[in-house]
Structure 1
Amino acid sequence: MGTLRAFGAMGFLCLSMAITIGMAKAEQASRWMPIGGLSRPPIGHLGFCQDHPNECVKPAPLRSPSEPPQPLSTSIIVAIAALNTRVNGAIVARSDQELYGVEEHWAFPASGYGDCEDYVLEKRRELMAMGVDAANLLITVVKKLDGTGHAVLTLRSDQGDFILDNLDWRIRPWRETSYRYIKRQSSTDPAQWRLVETYGDPLVSSVGR
């Protein structure tokens, strides 16, 4: 009986350790978005690739899906945070309808005006000029709490996925935002998109700041 009790206590301890380790691994994994199968590119991104083909070309040699994400140092974090704040303050939010007379048009900010995806494109362009690989700067489509579509920029890093957003000056871990994540660019092909969560294909126009 004593042996059985000892075994029971040991078994409970092992089970507890297994659960703790499993939770720690799940928490570690949740730092990065769970990426699924292929998805249709947003209509606006298709048009953007036609206007700016160099922004949507596969790298040569092709990147591996297991390629390590951006290492984050203090200097990199400070530089990215400063850029996010500066771009947010430099662009005045205007809808695509106001700027171009259409519901959805992705472009670099025109004369200091732009919609949510225009902020994203400008941040991506400037961060690439700073030396951040395009594989770690992924346009991402989300839904806000009110159900409207929105675009943010995901920074893939060795510490997790972080969000640069024109509606927030902070750079936050993706799980700490209030968004429902729909799809984002592939890290191996900027013209390809993959699902994060299968909630459909909303338009992403948003001008709130």
Structure 2
Amino acid sequence: MRAVRICVTAALPLMFVPTASALAAERSTPIRAAFLEEKAAALAPYAFVRFCVEAPEECTPKQGAENVRLSADVAVDIASINKSVNHGIAPRNDRRGRDIWTLSPRYGDCDDYAVTKRRKLVEAGLPARSVRLAIGRTPDGQGHAVVIVRTRNADLVLDSRSDAIKRVNEVDLVWIKMESADNPKWWYAL
């Protein structure tokens, strides 16, 4: 597999506003809601394996519920963390052949944004099992790491390319793999 790379674009305006009607729609969404479906076991990205060696506390088995109820407070936390990390890390790709995943760097690429968001979401109280890393491919063929928050009605995407929080079926990524809800060292093809 090619190394995960990012083409970070300028942050877009925050488009996820947790209104009463949005929360009601989330609760009443039909079964057709967007969820990523785990298939066969897959290898974790090599740079993620190295990340686990450097930050083993980020790669321990997870606790808590596998999904979260999207209350107004949770929606605000998700949107706030997505936006603050998107604006707090200056976009810069790793040097060719040197894909390194880092927590809260000054400069970074999509995987740095993703692991930072994952940590901040768990620190904010979201169950660790509901916050997962995923890898997709952008329309131009680039590998791209994002965070998925599994709610009761949909998987939500926190993407370094946008401040908008979207369901997995509303983004332009072709999904490749995602970490397990139980153990970050286990990954599944999508």
What interval of TM-score do these two structures reach, taking the shorter chain for normalisation? 0.7 to 0.9
| Aligned partners of 2:62 and 2:128 also within 8 Å | no
Task: Quote the residue 1:72 is aligned against.
Answer: 70
Alignment partner, residue 53 of structure 2: 50
Query: Equivalent residue of 1:96, what SS?
Result: coil
Deviation readout 1:89-116 (Å, 9 max, x if unpaired): 111011111xxx7431111132x11110
Give structure 2 stretches of 5+ with no counterpart.
1-29
TM-score by length of 2: 0.80
Q: Which has the higher contact order (CA 8 A, sep 6+)?
A: 2
Which position in structure 2 is the counterpart of 1:189?
A: 183
Q: Give the SS at the match of 2:163.
A: strand
**Residue 153 of structure 1: how far off its partner (Å):** 0.5
Pairing 1:32–2:35 present: yes
Residue matched to 2:11: none
Structure 1 unaligned residues grouped into runs of 5+: 1-26, 197-209
Q: Give the C-alpha shift of residue 127 in structure 1.
A: 0.8
> In the alignment, is residue 144 of structure 1 matched against residue 138 of structure 2?
yes
Alignment pair present for 1:105 and 2:100:
yes
Q: Deviations over 1:42-88 (max 9, x none)?
A: 0111000000111111247xx7xxx5411110111012111111111
Matched, 1:116 2:110: yes
**Identity score, percent:** 29
2:136–2:176 Cα contact (<8 Å) kept: yes
Return the TM-score normalized by structure 1: 0.73
Change (3 A) 1:103 1:68: closer
Task: Provide the residue aligned with 1:169 in structure 2.
Answer: 163
Aligned residues: 161
Question: Compared with structure 1, are the counterparts of its residues 177 and 102 closer, same or farther at alpha carbon in structure 2 (3 Å cutoff)?
Answer: same
The letter of the residue matching 2:169 is R
Query: Judging changes above 3 Å, is the alpha-carbon distance between structure 1 residues 143 and 187 closer, same or farther for their aligned structure 2 residues?
Result: same
CA contact (8 A) 2:177 2:189 kept: yes
Q: Which has the higher helix share?
A: 1
SS in 1 for 2:116: helix
C-alpha RMSD of the superposition: 1.6
Give the structure with higher Rg (CA). Answer: 1
